[in-house]
Amino acid sequence: MRLRNTVVAALAAAVTLISCQKDNRETTLQKDLKEQTEAEEKSETENLSSGGTESNRHNGNNRGYVYTLSNQTAGNMVLVYRRAGNGTLTYTASYATGGNGTGGGLGNQGAVTLSSDNEVLLAVNPGSNSISSFKITGSGLNRKSTVSSGGTTPVSITQHGNLVYVLNAGGSGNISGFWLGENNKLTPIPNSTRPLSSSASGAAQISFVRNGRVLAITEKATNKIITYTVTQWGRPGTMHSLTSASPTPFGFAAGRFGNIYVSEAVGGAANASNVSSYHIGFDGTISLTQGPVATGQSAACWVVLTENGRNIYTTNTASNTLSSYDVYPASGNIDLLQSIAATSGMGPIDAALTDNSRFLYALNGAGHSISVYAVSNNGALTPLPTTITGLPAGTNGLAAN
């Protein structure tokens, strides 16, 4: 009897070991999700009350890099620019993604993104229906993988921990998930592809919110914001949707406490664009917090949020301007700060802030250039006398560290 019990125990231990090895990524994610409870909001509230988020945007390393995608049909490239301490950019190198672009506009936000630890760069290849991952090294970018996006015309990509999701805007549209391995390679998550709210949604952006527990997506053609909860296995769960406060929800920035700040282009109507604030619960439900709050500009499409959560900026593509808003992180309320916070080049599209929010960069789609701005503690923008010009037509996406 004692020998049989010993054998049974050994077999049970072996089965447990194999199971743990097989599902290591899933159990790690499950543990992470369980630990991300309401304590997150409690700590953020304490940080706000202690002044911890007021602004430390002048602290830290003042040098870094800015990345954009060439989006060329003959081969997509990551274009890399070194950022000096004064915000100026110098072209460094180009790296092939292993996929192709479209050579034209994508109506999107988030074509290129950096991992939260700034160690991995992720990019979409909309012309070849694939996505790529790069390891960021001291000597440049090292491409680790290029895999199918799980759909057609990937336009936006987001990452949280070892999870990556891509938004495919072509065809009937969908989202699809991937594991980001320790080797920085992407592996499709089985049964993670989910539809959008319509087969003609005109989807623009996908982003993790709520510390990776929910995915949010904007749909321009349906005027909807949709969410999917993320299950303990990394797969999408329940979908929720809400009609936006005004038409054409486009880009958005995710803030604290489940707040997102969404640009609403109102079909590009002159001087009619807005920004609205929404709240997303841990269960994926969406509610309007405030809005629409007018920019007084045309075709507000892209939105970025400062590191301290106190200001957002929109690029207004048809007005060649940027607008600024004050943000109240705990409530999610917003006030227009400046309708014209700065002028830009022709057709500003993507925007990116450095990690410490000292500098803001705007990609000018029609001007094939990047404009540079210094960001003050009070949210004011100051154009800097440096501009990157000569970008390929169709250049898309912007990320900075």
Question: What integer pLDDT is reported at residue 386 of this predicted model?
Answer: 85
Whether residue 11 lies inside any domain: the answer is: no
For residues 293-305, one letter each, b for 16 or more C-beta atoms within 10 angstroms of the residue's C-beta and e for the rest, the string is bbbbbbbbbbbbb
- Ranking 46-55, 217-226, 277-286, 378-387 by mean pLDDT, the lowest is 46-55
Q: To the nearest whole number, what is the mean pLDDT of the chain?
A: 89
Task: Tell me which of 87 and 54 has the higher pLDDT.
Answer: 87
Residue with token string 């990116």? 352
Structure tokens at 200: 């003609």
Whether residue 310 lies inside any domain: the answer is: yes
Question: What integer pLDDT is reported at residue 44 of this predicted model?
Answer: 46
Q: What is the CATH number of the domain that holds 316?
A: 2.130.10.10
Whole-prediction pTM: 0.88
Question: Is the confidence at residue 69, as pLDDT, over 60?
Answer: yes
Whether residue 29 lies inside any domain: the answer is: no
What is the rounded CA–CA span in Å between residue 301 and residue 323? 11
Whether residue 225 lies inside any domain: the answer is: yes
Question: Residue 7: pLDDT band by 50, 70, 90 thresholds?
Answer: very low
Q: Are 196 and 219 in contact (CB under 8 A)?
A: yes
The average pLDDT across 379-386 equals 95
- For the stretch 308-321, pLDDT in tens is 999 999 999 999 99
Question: Is the confidence at residue 224, as pLDDT, over 50?
Answer: yes
For residue 271, how far is the Cα from the chain centroid? 26
- For the stretch 198-218, pLDDT in tens is 999 999 999 999 999 999 999
Question: What integer pLDDT is reported at residue 352 of this predicted model?
Answer: 98
- DSSP 3-state of 46: helix
The average pLDDT across 164-172 equals 98
Domain count for the chain: 1
Whether residue 143 lies inside any domain: the answer is: yes
Q: Are 130 and 146 in contact (CB under 8 A)?
A: yes
Question: Is the confidence at residue 45, as pLDDT, over 90?
Answer: no
The average pLDDT across 58-77 equals 85
Q: Euclidean distance between the first and final Cα of the chain, in Å?
A: 64
Give me the phi and psi of 66, to 5 degrees please. Answer: -125, 135
**Cα angle: 41, vertex 46, 48; to 5 degrees:** 95
Whether residue 288 lies inside any domain: the answer is: yes
Whether residue 358 lies inside any domain: the answer is: yes
Domain that holds residue 318: 65-400
Question: Residue 82: pLDDT band by 50, 70, 90 thresholds?
Answer: very high
Whether residue 350 lies inside any domain: the answer is: yes
Question: Is the confidence at residue 47, as pLDDT, over 50?
Answer: no
Question: Is the confidence at residue 16, as pLDDT, over 80?
Answer: no
Question: What integer pLDDT is reported at residue 3 of this predicted model?
Answer: 35
Using the 8-state DSSP alphabet, how is residue 266 labeled? G
Question: Is the confidence at residue 58, as pLDDT, over 80?
Answer: no
Question: Is the confidence at residue 5, as pLDDT, over 60?
Answer: no
